[in-house]
Amino acid sequence: MDTRLLLISHASTAAMRAGRFPADDPLDARGLAEAAAARARLSIPDDAAVFVSPAVCARDTASALGLGAAALGQGTSVDKGLADMHYGLWHGRRLADLALEASHDLATWTHDPDAAAHGGESFSQLVKRVGQWLDALNGALSEGVILGNTQNVVAVTHAPVIRAAIVHALGAPPAVFPRIEIAPLSMVELRRSRRGWTWWPASQ
């Protein structure tokens, strides 16, 4: 049986709307309302195993979507493998300020997958990390480590992580990352079969 993985990007935060890099911000009232409204739109299997990024905004999103610990048969697990990209010194900084103070570094970072002028994680490193998480997930399902018989998995995480998952699934070079857009509360479906990971249109 194929593994079906639904990757959901967390709801918008005040930091995102202000053009700031994340600083583990919780969802504000607007983000919570958006996530609650998306609950009926997103088709989430009842038997899914649920994993959530450690970030507060991801955990708030999962809760608003009804994916709390007792909501689904498999419960919810916080997984550091789904953590957002590490932004180093840019953590919490405004893009507009960085465009004035470090324009070259910012421009390089937005186009070069190996760049990490902020001292954090490059996109290439993120692709490797997320690829390892995907492969470990598939192994856990195959060996029955995840409780139950489900092959459905939901992961509430961050847009960069979902972009990295798509790049890994397609076997594409990390340099394509600027061409992938993931909006808040988007859902991307990946499936794992004998031929590896594939990207499917998600039912929303």
At residue 204 the predicted structure's pLDDT band, cuts being 50, 70 and 90, is low
Q: Look-up: residue for tokens 């005040």?
A: 14
The full set of domains in the chain, from first to last, is: 3-200 (3.40.50.1240)
b/e per residue 100-110 (b: at least 16 CB within 10 A) = eebeebbeebe
Worst-scoring range by mean pLDDT, 45-59, 66-80, 92-106, 112-126? 66-80
Q: In the structure, what pLDDT confidence band is assigned to residue 152 with cuts at 50, 70 and 90?
A: confident
Which has the higher per-residue pLDDT, 3 or 126?
Answer: 126
The alpha carbon of 7 is separated from its chain's Cα centroid by a whole number of angstroms, namely 6
Give residue 203's pLDDT band: very low, low, confident or very high (50, 70, 90). Answer: low
Enumerate long-range contacts of 23-29, CB under 8 Å, 24 or more apart. Answer: 23/91, 23/92, 24/55, 24/56, 24/57, 25/56, 25/57, 26/56, 26/57, 26/60, 27/56, 27/57, 27/60, 27/61, 27/64
**pTM, rounded to two decimals:** 0.92
Per-residue confidence at 201, pLDDT binned at 50, 70, 90? confident
